[in-house]
Structure 1
Amino acid sequence: MNDLTGWMRTFVTVADAASFSRAAARLELPQSTVSRQVGALERHLGAALFKRTTRSIALTSEGLAYYEGALRALAAIDEAEAAVGLHRALGGQVRLTAPLTLAQSRIIAMLADFQRVQPRIEIDLRVSDHALNLVSDNLDFAIRVGAIGDSRAIARRIGTARRVMVASPAYLAQRGTPSRPVDLAGHNCLSYSLLATGNKWALGNHPPVDVSGTFRADSPDALRAAALAGIGIAVNARWLFEADLAAGGLVEVLPEHPPQDMPIHLVMPAGRYVAARVRALADHLIVAFAADPLLRSQ
């Protein structure tokens, strides 16, 4: 990598992170090296790229114009290098986040397949059912289920979360098995507190049903445990319950009225330069989701 290309990549990283220290951590370089490279670029261009204060930095008008051009230039460089080096192993770190149960049941196996092909790429996976901030948490991208809260982010739909309603045989033996969606009003329905629709369950083409219950949690694993313990009826992604359904610990409720599916998106921060290693992993996951019958969009 020549000096100018290296300085340009460092500048883009600082602009994305809005911080020299965060950029240094992302690049795994000393902060002094990052500052020196940006300073060298500014001297080369004869222009100040950042407004610096003791607490923050911001792009100058010249910096903003250069940033937009740098993104295009770096993308072109990566594409040109890829065209003549398709089999060259990539290196560096990719940071991503995904929901816990989806990561455990599907994504980690996909990442293992990827690292067998690209063993020099390090993966930093943050598993969380809460939507982490891609910029402040220094993440390259996220896999998210459901609605995308940040309208500024770049989102690509890569799959579908097929959901199912379940309960334990013991619960149904005690409380009875619902035969119609309206019967749920007489049952203890377990609530997933991170679901935007709250206590309204959308079941197939049936109008949303108001439900209530004595248990709520912000973790799908906690809902699964509660359902297995016989507390009530739960709704979540099929991948969460598939082993329990196969073993008989849980049974499907109202299979003729399945809960509405939810979209799965790959989300990236808007305007950020996408390194070749990040693009390679994102593309791998897109293909892997499309090949999984439980995840692919119909």
Structure 2
Amino acid sequence: MDIVSALRAFLRVAETGSFSAAAVDLGLTQPAVSRQVSALEEHLSTRLLHRTTNALALTAEGEHMIPMALKVIEAVDALNEANCGEAATATGRVRLTLPAPLGLYVSDRLAELLGRHPGLSVEMLFREDPSDLVGEGIDLEVRLGPVSDSGLMCRRIGWTTAFLVAAPSYLEQRAAPKALDDIGDHECICYSRAGDGRLWTFSDGSDDVFVRIAPRLVANNAVAVHRAVLAGNGLAILSHILACPDIEAGRLINVMPEFPPARLPISVVYPSRRNLPLRVRTVLDFLVQVVREDPLMTSSLPS
């Protein structure tokens, strides 16, 4: 068994959630990918994936295996690139689009990447809706939620965490909701992103619960929603990236923490499955790294 190839296959299956999608990305057949993962499980004497007719899910052992597998693959790739000499230097511009909260999180950490690669430049575009990657010359795009465009390569890198929040000034005027059904009676600030933002989704620990709202304030940018909720305009669902500092400082209150907003996959999409330039792979690897450094984005399990 080629353990490096098997580890690559396992990681792609874990990231895409599908043997078929992993096979397309790796340029293999679906049975070949399945055999590689099965051989890895036999080699390790442990099950890494729960397989059902309609879905795949990582076992606890599979979750534990991912960071170790990544270290092996990264070490092998680093060795290969080192043998390529100057041709392996990451140079040129990478155009990257991503939602505003994650864009702020990434921009705080870009200095490290650019410091390691003096010839690399990154153009960041903050967008909430999907782009025409090929038409606009976008190298990488971070998307939240399911990715329906089968013509794009998709790599899942993490999960969102969000909070239902309100400012103390708002809750001084209106009693905080005690149940999900109470939310509809409140002023709600709607973040409309690629769909009907007027339907909020929460988790009760096992199932998703949908709440219909009738917002009087709608914005297609999460930063605008953040400012509006700080000003006391009502309830809003905010990314932990925006909400956590204000919750800790008392500027916002986490409302009904027992019913958190449902989590969404964070994925990076790109147009081509083969021969990604080193400049693009370097930024993609950086995105994976910085997202996995945040414990609130590293697991599909509720926090």
Aligned to 1:175: 174
What is the CA–CA distance in structure 2 between the aligned matches of 1:175 and 1:216, rounded to whole Å?
20
Aligned to 2:265: 263
Distance 1:91 1:270, change over 3 A: closer
What is the CA–CA distance in structure 1 between the aligned matches of 2:139 and 2:110, rounded to whole Å?
15
What is the CA–CA distance in structure 2 between the aligned matches of 1:287 and 1:179, rounded to whole Å?
38
Q: CA deviation at 1:79?
A: 9.7
Aligned to 2:185: 186
Superposition TM-score, scaled by structure 2 size: 0.67
What is the CA–CA distance in structure 2 between the aligned matches of 1:222 and 1:232, rounded to whole Å?
13
What is the CA–CA distance in structure 2 between the aligned matches of 1:135 and 1:80, rounded to whole Å?
31
* Contact 2:129-2:194 at 8 Å conserved across structures: no
Q: CA deviation at 1:164?
A: 0.6
Aligned to 2:96: 96
Q: CA deviation at 1:270?
A: 3.6
What is the CA–CA distance in structure 2 between the aligned matches of 1:157 and 1:203, rounded to whole Å?
21
Q: CA deviation at 1:253?
A: 0.7
* Contact 2:101-2:239 at 8 Å conserved across structures: no
1:112 paired with 2:111, answer yes
Secondary structure class of the residue paired with 1:175: coil
Q: CA deviation at 1:197?
A: 4.2
Q: CA offsets, 1:184-211, max 9 Å, x none? A: 1211111112253432221113521122
* Contact 2:190-2:218 at 8 Å conserved across structures: yes
Aligned to 1:131: 130
Aligned to 1:164: 163
Name which one, 1 or 2, has greater alpha-carbon Rg. 1
Q: CA deviation at 1:271?
A: 4.8
Aligned to 2:236: 234
Report the AA paired with residue 150 of structure 2: S
Distance 1:81 1:293, change over 3 A: closer
What is the CA–CA distance in structure 2 between the aligned matches of 1:79 and 1:118, rounded to whole Å?
14
Q: What stretches of structure 2 of length at least 5 have no aligned partner?
A: 1-76
* Contact 1:99-1:143 at 8 Å conserved across structures: yes
What is the CA–CA distance in structure 2 between the aligned matches of 1:269 and 1:166, rounded to whole Å?
37
Equivalence map 1:1-298=2 (5 Å): 82=81, 84-85=83-84, 89-104=89-104, 106-194=105-193, 196-205=195-204, 207-271=209-273, 273-298=275-300
Q: CA deviation at 1:83?
A: 5.0
Secondary structure class of the residue paired with 2:216: coil
Distance 1:124 1:213, change over 3 A: closer
Report the AA paired with residue 213 of structure 2: V
Q: How many residues are matched?
A: 220
Q: CA deviation at 1:103?
A: 1.0
What is the CA–CA distance in structure 2 between the aligned matches of 1:250 and 1:191, rounded to whole Å?
17
What is the CA–CA distance in structure 1 between the aligned matches of 2:159 and 2:138, rounded to whole Å?
23
What is the CA–CA distance in structure 1 between the aligned matches of 2:85 and 2:158, rounded to whole Å?
27
Report the AA paired with residue 152 of structure 2: A
Superposition TM-score, scaled by structure 1 size: 0.68
What is the CA–CA distance in structure 2 between the aligned matches of 1:296 and 1:79, rounded to whole Å?
24
* Contact 1:239-1:294 at 8 Å conserved across structures: no
Superposition misfits of 4+ residues, deviation over 6 angstroms? 78-81
